[in-house]
Amino acid sequence: MKTVFSLLLLSLLISCGTPSKKAMNITGTIDGLRKGTLYLQKFLDTTLVSIDSFTVRKDKPFSLGDDIDYPQIYYLYLDKEDGDTLNDRITFFGEKGDITINSLLKTFESSAQISGSENHVLWEDYQAMLRRFNAKSLDLVKNYLEEDSLSLDVREAKFDKDSKNLLKRRYLFALNYATNNADKEIAAYIGLYEISNVNPKLLDTLYSKMSENVKNSTYGVEFNKFLSSLKEDKKE
């Protein structure tokens, strides 16, 4: 009897001393980091808050987590304790399960390798295309500044027309991308934060194509509230 009681007591002590696993668990390494603190952050309402932290020593693997209900954007912030805050935050789409983030100290943001999140894979593809649009926008500015065979008025008119066309193409891409991935939470995020000023009818169509799970997600609920506010404003 004493043996059984002892085993039960030992089991209780072990379970109490073991941290409970979060719904989302993030592990990884920052190669080259000898000393610093990593903070897992997200927006609550309009405030960016830290919800977990881990002190790194000599390339030690880190572990962070959050009791997430639905996929959403998170930030991995690195405090290197040297005053240098350049490129110190990695943006990623977090979701339930195990996520791995490995990066380098010197190129913390740009060299981040992230796996374990389906929404993040879609997020990376989306961001890659946006970088192409940004590059084309820079080309338009360059052509405007360097073109000397046309009058200033003609150059300005051309630049204005080309810029509007490029912006329209960017919005159409974002809308199509969200629609094609309407079964993932990134669709609601794009509708809410990337193309909120497009024709409300197009946003309504996007929302109608979302799965019920996405509609009930954090961004899905907020997107629905936003659409409702647009309809109220129209009545006034």
Report pLDDT for 39. 97
- The predicted-structure confidence for 36-80, as pLDDT tens digits, reads as follows 999 999 999 899 999 999 999 887 899 999 999 999 999 999 998
Least confident range of 2-11, 69-78, 125-134, 225-234: 2-11
Statement: residue 86 has pLDDT above 60:
no
Calculate mean pLDDT across residues 75-98. Answer: 85
Report pLDDT for 58. 83
- Residue 90, beta-bridge partner list: 76
- The predicted-structure confidence for 120-175, as pLDDT tens digits, reads as follows 999 999 999 999 999 999 999 999 998 888 888 999 999 999 999 999 999 999 99
Give residue limits of the domains in the chain. 20-115, 120-235
**150 vs 107, higher pLDDT:** 107
> What residue type is assigned to position 231 of the chain?
K
Report pLDDT for 7. 41
3-state secondary structure 30-50: EECCCEEEEEEEEEECCEEEE
DSSP 217: S
Q: pLDDT band for position 2 (50/70/90)?
A: very low
Q: pLDDT band for position 20 (50/70/90)?
A: low
Statement: residue 236 has pLDDT above 70:
no
Calculate mean pLDDT across residues 205-231. Answer: 97
**Per-residue tokens: 112:** 């981040």
Distance between CA 194 and CA 77 in Å, rounded?
23
Statement: residue 3 has pLDDT above 90:
no
Calculate mean pLDDT across residues 81-104. Answer: 86
Nearest alpha carbon to residue 64 among 94, 84, 89: 94
Which helix (DSSP H) or strand (DSSP E) does residue 93 occupy? strand 89-94
Q: Are strands 97-104 and 24-28 parallel, antiparallel or unpaired?
A: parallel
Calculate mean pLDDT across residues 176-188. Answer: 98
Distance between CA 30 and CA 34 in Å, rounded?
9
pTM: 0.86
Distance between CA 101 and CA 29 in Å, rounded?
7
Backbone angles phi, psi at 95, to 5 degrees: -160, 170
Q: What SS3 state is found at 192?
A: helix
Calculate mean pLDDT across residues 194-200. Answer: 95
> What residue type is assigned to position 106 of the chain?
K
Statement: residue 93 has pLDDT above 50:
yes
Report pLDDT for 80. 83
Q: pLDDT band for position 208 (50/70/90)?
A: very high
**Fold exhibited by the domain 20-115:** Immunoglobulin-like (2.60.40)
Q: pLDDT band for position 85 (50/70/90)?
A: low
Distance between CA 164 and CA 67 in Å, rounded?
42
